Structure 1
Amino acid sequence: MSGEGSAGKAVVEAKGLNPGLIVLLVVGGLLLTFLIANYVMYMYAQKNLPPKKKKPHSKKKLKREKLKK
């Protein structure tokens, strides 16, 4: 009797979603959500944050400043 019960459960599980597929979908969904959230934050930062001020590091300018001092 116990053998028949386990065989019946196996058939029911085979008809349903595979546990490996469920794990794959969950992990894939989390990864996709993470990537989309990163892209949204990147676009938000590009629009709203001021650009970084870059100091000129020209060798000629550095030499001139040293000579002036």
Structure 2
Amino acid sequence: MADDFDFADKVPPSFDHVGDVLKNSEAKGFNPALIVLLLVVGLLVVFLVGNYVLYAYAQKTLPPRKKKPVSKKKLRKEKLKQGISAPGE
């Protein structure tokens, strides 16, 4: 009875190369998830480096920001807190 199933173990000689092709094709190519991950990480790095470069350039070239003028009312309050009388009072 064991002799009846011997044909399952034997591969015809014409199909010998098919097994080798299948074994070799599994190792070729990139994982699609890896490609997406590399693309996203690459774009994130480009974004962060670009922002840093623009920030450094702006720090060197732009003039310092002007301070807002202090109102007369605030000046008067500050002088009163310090104990200095405002002129005309």
Q: Corresponding residue for 1:17?
A: 30
* Cα RMSD after superposing both structures: 3.3
Match of 1:43 among 56, 63, 75: 56
Distance 2:76 2:44 in 1: 47
Q: Corresponding residue for 1:33?
A: 46
Partner letter of residue 26 of structure 1? Answer: L
Q: Which moved more, 1:20-29 or 1:47-56?
A: 47-56
Q: Which moved more, 1:48-57 or 1:17-26?
A: 48-57
* Structure 1 unaligned residues grouped into runs of 5+: none
User: Of the two structures, which has the highest relative contact order with CA contacts closer than 8 Å and spacing of 6 or more?
Assistant: 2
Identity across aligned pairs (percent)?
Answer: 62
Residues 16 and 50 of structure 1, relative CA distance in 2, 3 Å threshold:
same
TM-score, normalisation: structure 2: 0.51
* Structure 2 unaligned residues grouped into runs of 5+: 1-17, 79-85
Displacement after TM superposition at 1:17 (Å):
1.5
Aligned length in residues: 59
